[in-house]
Structure 1
Amino acid sequence: MIAINNLTFEIGARALYDEANWHIKPGEKIGLIGANGTGKTTLLKLIVGDYKPTSGTISKSKELTIGYLNQDLLSYASDKSILHVAMEAFDRQNQLHTEIETLLKKLETDYSEDLLNKLSDKQQEFEALDGYNIEYKAHEILAGLGFSDVDQERKLSTFSGGWRMRVMLAKILLQAPDILLLDEPTNHLDLPSIQWLEDYLKNFEGAIVIVSHDRWFLDKVINRTVESRKGKLTVYAGNYTFYLEEKSLREEIQRGEFKNQQAKIKQEERLIERFRAKASKAKMAQSRIKMLDKMERVDDVDDDNPSVNFNFKFTKQSGRHVINIENLGKSYPNLEILDHANAVIEKGDKIALIGANGRGKSTLLRIIAGADKTFTGKSDTGYNVTQTFFAQHQLESLHLESEILQELQTFAPKHTDTELRSILGSFLFTGDDVFKKIKVLSGGEKSRVALAKALTADANFLILDEPTNHLDMQSVNILIQALQQYEGTFIAVSHDRYFLDNIANKIWYIEDHKIKEYPGTYAEYEEWQNKRKLQPKTAAPAPQPKKEEKKPVVQQPTEDKSKQLKKLNQDLGRMEQQISDLEKEVKQLETKLADDSIYSNANKLKETNSAYQQKQSALKQVQQQWETLAEQIMELEA
């Protein structure tokens, strides 16, 4: 299909590829991976012919059709509807449609047989190309990528860059080429759209090459992994997880070979030193020196996965309840986000907030952070809570003329330079890198600086909005390690499911304008959701009543279940009010205990402390009852 032979591509004096080889076969689904700067995007441009190799060849069959999604497509502009833009994929069908319309117009005045024959030929070809279904196909793919029927009639120019990229993706998928080259296809997609694209690509009959930092997405789609590293292309016969396991085995073998060779070299060097001292052995020494010079050296294994080697500390511990949300309401013109929503963030919670774009995830984070005050109800911050809020717009608050180390010194003066350099080293800024000015950094590098700043804050509560944007796999792994070590509380929004699965112990999602919670990891949540979707389809059909029976027996269990759910929800509501009242009383007692004057009165201190312990115990008991009740409701609703 595509054969890359002895490919060399140089940028200035640097060889990005050095006699690299790779053959792409029909139907293969390939993940092209590698650290930033190893030439993945460049290789795609070489394949499509945008760049020319310095030497070597890239051979393609003459009839091969290529669909290439790249970030340059963001510049595409049109005042036509996105449905029209997507349907531009059908070049021949559109041409035939125009020709048929012209012939039909002519037939109003000209009834010649020649004209009728032409029309018949065009219509037959149009039908053979499935022309009558192209609009339906475009509708279907745009809907899968998150566009409503109303959206599909809007002009492309009215959409943001991320949504325009989705239209370009739809157009490429509709072309159904022999091979798809997709450069970061999930960058601008929300979770439902990513999951739809996964299913589409798994069923795509042609070949696919994907460049992506989303390892969960790669694992779902690909059956081959190609690593771009040190100018070479190495093929692994499996998905990303297989690649990691296989690479680990190869590195273990290489590490053993390196150690054995180093031991042999040292032994030879010792012999040479001894032989040199004796004139009779000088010739033998020279022979061994030549042998060492000719030896093909085995490289040691590079550590591509640096570990986070510092502790995140904060001076104050928060109270048990970090955030308490009561009857929260938030809406925009023609869009309701939340309606009488309730939720609690407790000390030690690691929450992943997930869902489709437009459901209000970022809005909820801004409310929790106190950056948005235009809502009804309450969002109260708990006792001793100190927070830091990371969002993509905060990259703009970095001081462009500052050096990286200087930026952190100003923000976190309590940390020593050694501590700050250790933190920056964990985020891949080593040596003189820390003296680079912010203005020369890439988007991903700026994200890493902003994250390093967020994690140096003296905060026991982190609010993270899309922290993995612009980060490569190595940087995402570093952030995962950092958050796994963090002993405080956090809530994070991200579309990177591997990231979420490794950091979260609770999942929040917005459904029916309420904040819903799943107590578990992302993988467990996804499995639970899949069961919920399948249950109505796989459930056994309800028994049909006999003719002589007037009451349909199938209705009774449904009514009983409905009544049971209603009662349980009422009990849950009363319990939530009880928890709220107890939390307020506990908070009042905590405020009293925080007042230094109480410690001068032993009786009052004893009385207040005893009341505090009692209320804490009562609160814990009611919370446990609430959890049991919530699990019963979840099982009935499933």
Structure 2
Amino acid sequence: MLIALQDITFEFGARTIIEDSSWHIIPGDRVGLIGLNGTGKSTLLRIINGDYTISKGSINKIRNLSLGFFNQDLLSFETENSVISVGMTAFEQALKVEKELEELTAKLEHSQDDALLHEYADKLHEFDTLDGYNIRHKTATVLEGLGFSTADLERPYNQFSGGWRMRVLLAKLILQQPDVLMLDEPTNHLDLPSIEWLEKYLSNYNGAVIIVSHDRYFLDKMVNKVVELYQQQLHHYAGNYSDYEEEKVMRRDLQQRAYENQQDYIRQQERFIERFKAKASKAAQAQSIAKRLDKLERVEQVDGGPAKIRMNFSVDKMPGKILCTLNGVGKAFGQLEILKNASAEINRGDKIALIGANGKGKSTLLRVIAGTEPYTGERVPGHNVVTSFYAQHQLESLHLENEILEELKGCGSGLTEMELRGLLGCFLFQGDDVFKKIRILSGGEKARVALAKVIVGKANFLMLDEPTNHLDINSVEMLIDALGKYEGSLVLVSHDRYFVSKTANKIWEIVDGEIKEFKGTYGEWEEWKKRQALAALPAKPEKEKKSPSVAQPQPAKPASTPKTAIDKDLQKELQKQQRQFQQLEQQIAGLKDKLKQLEADMAEPEIYANKDKFRATEDAYKKTNADLAKLNSDYETIFEKVMELEEKMQG
């Protein structure tokens, strides 16, 4: 066990965040920490990190436990150093030894003292043990996995936006490889390729990982346990987020049935007491039953859960069939060409998701469609189109001196104050929160107000740039429900795959400056991409091998012709390559079997509970994977030779 939280209670001022709750974190845990916004998920991570002191209970950690905590507060870090040098600070000891080696080298230029030579040799050995020669390569690999180009690595850290800085700090944290890695909304700062890279990386991570995220796809792929912080209690579930949802429904049903059964029992006993309490022969029995009821541990009635307030979009005008047409549109920032002769058409009823890596021009294309970004080419707006645009950079359009409720009243939606307050509740503004001034809100709160304004407007065409970034899972579900009923059209940019899969009926991807359209849902697009990737690969080895094995020898030719000698040489070479081909097949099959066994070993409790055994097994797994990749590469090379030789034999 790495960390044990035992019956802890924590109050924040007069408010109780968590009460008499326990949680044990063990090696190999992949935990999704969930709960409504404001319940205290981030606070609980800070309690584990040691930032806050509990008022009751105990927190026990193994000796020398290392913790890594990824959160918004990291943005206060500033430096002019390069991105890669910031990432490399993860290897603090290796960098220290490297500096000591430089100092010793300078001394040895003037002195060949034996003591200095011994110290130098010891430091060299320590640097090698710390894998110091590879730290730059490791850092570059992680940073590039998180979306940085090779050229970006040498740029100063402080030249990047907040989102990109968070990626650098996430890379540093990953490279430190703490025993427990705590990630608070890590996908908010990543595009889809980077999220997929992070998923692959974390799936092989040695330590325990705790994730707070509103990204359901990410949670489903990453976690094997869910801990829900609800009504000041920690509720534990096995499996991923989808498993949690199913089990929670079952638990609620069981609790409700137990509550109803107990209420029936209580009513029966109370009737008996009321009937016989004054009868001498039954009074003692009635009194006994009354005492038993007083001591009875009551089953709580199932609460209604989070409020299911419905968001509804209103559409005033019906637009024409075509909302916007782009013809030969171009857009460049200096030498960087974003769009090049791009053409597309948005039709009434389209719900389009713009997806892809950051830097491909998704937000730029949104602004071009909205007519707020200069461009070359032609943009033809449709008839009767009323547009509403939600984007982070448009928060300056909010009136800072207005109260939140006042800001929404000014949209001309015609909704009553009660209806507006209900909508604001969906965006996590409860009670007197609606009277807060816009100027005192955080960036995330302003973003939620701006999104609420989009909803109360009566636009028939919505453009949404990362609308889920500051919403919890419950609010995202409400937004999905509202967009599903929305009668207008929309174009959205989002890295939340669940949100995209539930809202879009078309997918747009910017490829080489052009807009590539796929008519279908995100799930269908993913399947299509997989089929495209498979089709681009060489034919499967099983089929490839058949050709050389059934190849017929060419008819014999007169010994006097030069062709006969060539054929014999080719045939010998072909047979040699075929033998190597078969040997590689056997070796690959053996390594695959070994990988399966190692995977099974890593799942054994006695292995993952023992850090040394788990690390040794994991190292063996990584080495076997690398060996398999090498053999597969050799396999493809030899197969190409076999095919080439066979063609020569036949021609």
CA contact (8 A) 1:466 1:493 kept: yes
Deviation at 1:17, TM superposition (A): 1.5
CA contact (8 A) 2:352 2:504 kept: yes
Aligned partner of 2:500 in structure 1 is: 500
CA contact (8 A) 1:304 1:474 kept: no
CA distance in 1, matches of 2:538, 2:121: 48
Deviation at 1:316, TM superposition (A): 1.9
* 2:501 partner amino acid: D
Structure 2 CA distance for partners of 1:398 and 1:267, relative to 1, 3 Å: farther
Tell me the alpha carbon deviations over residues 373-415 of structure 1, each in whole angstroms, 9 at most, x when there is no partner: x111122121222221111233333334434433222212533
Deviation at 1:337, TM superposition (A): 0.8
CA distance in 2, matches of 1:134, 1:156: 18
Aligned partner of 1:87 in structure 2 is: 88
Q: TM-score, normalised by structure 1?
A: 0.80
Structure 2 CA distance for partners of 1:16 and 1:161, relative to 1, 3 Å: same
1:411 aligned counterpart, secondary structure: coil
* 1:480 partner amino acid: I
CA distance in 1, matches of 2:171, 2:431: 44
Structure 2 CA distance for partners of 1:182 and 1:433, relative to 1, 3 Å: closer
Aligned partner of 2:77 in structure 1 is: 76
CA distance in 2, matches of 1:171, 1:419: 46
Aligned partner of 2:368 in structure 1 is: 367
Structure 2 CA distance for partners of 1:421 and 1:88, relative to 1, 3 Å: closer
Aligned partner of 1:96 in structure 2 is: 97
Aligned partner of 1:611 in structure 2 is: none
Aligned partner of 1:53 in structure 2 is: 54
For residues 26-65 of structure 1, what are the structure 2 equivalents within 5 Å? Answer: 26-65=27-66
CA contact (8 A) 2:311 2:478 kept: no
Aligned partner of 2:485 in structure 1 is: 485
Comparing 258-267 with 91-100, greater Cα deviation is found at 258-267
Structure 2 CA distance for partners of 1:445 and 1:109, relative to 1, 3 Å: closer
2:468 aligned counterpart, secondary structure: coil
Structure 2 CA distance for partners of 1:114 and 1:455, relative to 1, 3 Å: same
Tell me the alpha carbon deviations over residues 9-64 of structure 1, each in whole angstroms, 9 at most, x when there is no partner: 11123221111111111111111111122221112111121111112111111122
CA distance in 1, matches of 2:135, 2:246: 43
Comparing 222-231 with 410-419, greater Cα deviation is found at 410-419
CA distance in 1, matches of 2:280, 2:389: 74
Aligned partner of 1:346 in structure 2 is: 347
* 1:84 partner amino acid: S
Aligned partner of 1:120 in structure 2 is: 121
For residues 430-449 of structure 1, what are the structure 2 equivalents within 5 Å? Answer: 434-439=434-439, 441=441, 443-449=443-449
Aligned partner of 1:406 in structure 2 is: 406
Deviation at 1:154, TM superposition (A): 0.8
1:186 aligned counterpart, secondary structure: helix
CA distance in 2, matches of 1:232, 1:66: 24
* 1:131 partner amino acid: G
Structure 2 CA distance for partners of 1:521 and 1:303, relative to 1, 3 Å: farther
Deviation at 1:422, TM superposition (A): 4.7
* 1:471 partner amino acid: L
Q: Percent of aligned pairs with the same residue?
A: 55
1:58 aligned counterpart, secondary structure: strand
Comparing 314-323 with 425-434, greater Cα deviation is found at 425-434
Deviation at 1:289, TM superposition (A): 5.1
Structure 2 CA distance for partners of 1:460 and 1:276, relative to 1, 3 Å: farther
CA distance in 1, matches of 2:54, 2:105: 50
Aligned partner of 1:511 in structure 2 is: 511
Deviation at 1:259, TM superposition (A): 2.5
Deviation at 1:99, TM superposition (A): 1.4
For residues 416-431 of structure 1, what are the structure 2 equivalents within 5 Å? Answer: 416-417=416-417, 419-427=419-427, 429=429
CA distance in 2, matches of 1:82, 1:195: 22
Deviation at 1:284, TM superposition (A): 6.8
CA contact (8 A) 2:427 2:471 kept: no
Deviation at 1:304, TM superposition (A): 3.2
Structure 2 CA distance for partners of 1:388 and 1:280, relative to 1, 3 Å: farther
Tell me how large the CA RMSD over aligned residues is. 2.7
Aligned partner of 1:397 in structure 2 is: 397
CA contact (8 A) 1:443 1:470 kept: no
Deviation at 1:448, TM superposition (A): 3.5
Does 2:254 correspond to 1:230? Answer: no
Comparing 310-319 with 82-91, greater Cα deviation is found at 310-319
Runs of 5+ unmatched residues, structure 2:
555-562, 568-651
Does 2:264 correspond to 1:259? Answer: no
Aligned partner of 1:107 in structure 2 is: 108
* 1:218 partner amino acid: L
CA contact (8 A) 1:350 1:504 kept: yes
Comparing 198-207 with 177-186, greater Cα deviation is found at 177-186
Structure 2 CA distance for partners of 1:354 and 1:20, relative to 1, 3 Å: same
Comparing 450-459 with 512-521, greater Cα deviation is found at 450-459
Deviation at 1:210, TM superposition (A): 1.1
1:170 aligned counterpart, secondary structure: helix
For residues 171-570 of structure 1, what are the structure 2 equivalents within 5 Å? Answer: 171-268=172-269, 290-309=291-310, 311-372=312-373, 374-417=374-417, 419-427=419-427, 429=429, 434-439=434-439, 441=441, 443-537=443-537, 539-540=539-540
CA distance in 2, matches of 1:236, 1:423: 31
Tell me the alpha carbon deviations over residues 252-303 of structure 1, each in whole angstroms, 9 at most, x when there is no partner: 1112222233344445555566668989988776665554443322222233
* 2:65 partner amino acid: L
Comparing 284-293 with 390-399, greater Cα deviation is found at 284-293
Comparing 110-119 with 258-267, greater Cα deviation is found at 258-267
Q: TM-score, normalised by structure 2?
A: 0.79
Tell me the alpha carbon deviations over residues 170-221 of structure 1, each in whole angstroms, 9 at most, x when there is no partner: 1111112222111111121111111111110011121111111111111111
1:341 aligned counterpart, secondary structure: strand
Deviation at 1:536, TM superposition (A): 3.5
CA distance in 1, matches of 2:47, 2:199: 26
Aligned partner of 1:137 in structure 2 is: 138
Comparing 448-457 with 78-87, greater Cα deviation is found at 448-457
CA contact (8 A) 2:32 2:226 kept: yes
CA contact (8 A) 1:308 1:481 kept: no
Aligned partner of 2:640 in structure 1 is: none
1:507 aligned counterpart, secondary structure: strand
CA distance in 2, matches of 1:270, 1:347: 65
2:188 aligned counterpart, secondary structure: coil
CA contact (8 A) 2:186 2:213 kept: yes
CA distance in 2, matches of 1:125, 1:493: 48
Number of residue pairs the alignment of both structures matches: 548
Structure 2 CA distance for partners of 1:77 and 1:235, relative to 1, 3 Å: same
CA distance in 2, matches of 1:316, 1:370: 20
CA contact (8 A) 1:190 1:357 kept: yes
Tell me the alpha carbon deviations over residues 413-472 of structure 1, each in whole angstroms, 9 at most, x when there is no partner: 533445434544554556655455445555544434332321222211111111111111
* 1:13 partner amino acid: A
Deviation at 1:338, TM superposition (A): 0.5
Deviation at 1:310, TM superposition (A): 6.1
CA contact (8 A) 1:389 1:463 kept: yes
Structure 2 CA distance for partners of 1:63 and 1:432, relative to 1, 3 Å: closer
CA distance in 1, matches of 2:96, 2:435: 58
CA contact (8 A) 1:404 1:437 kept: yes
2:21 aligned counterpart, secondary structure: strand
Structure 2 CA distance for partners of 1:237 and 1:188, relative to 1, 3 Å: same
* 1:58 partner amino acid: I
CA distance in 1, matches of 2:259, 2:404: 37
Deviation at 1:487, TM superposition (A): 1.5
Deviation at 1:482, TM superposition (A): 0.6
CA contact (8 A) 2:329 2:378 kept: yes
CA distance in 2, matches of 1:310, 1:187: 23
* 2:405 partner amino acid: L
Structure 2 CA distance for partners of 1:49 and 1:310, relative to 1, 3 Å: closer
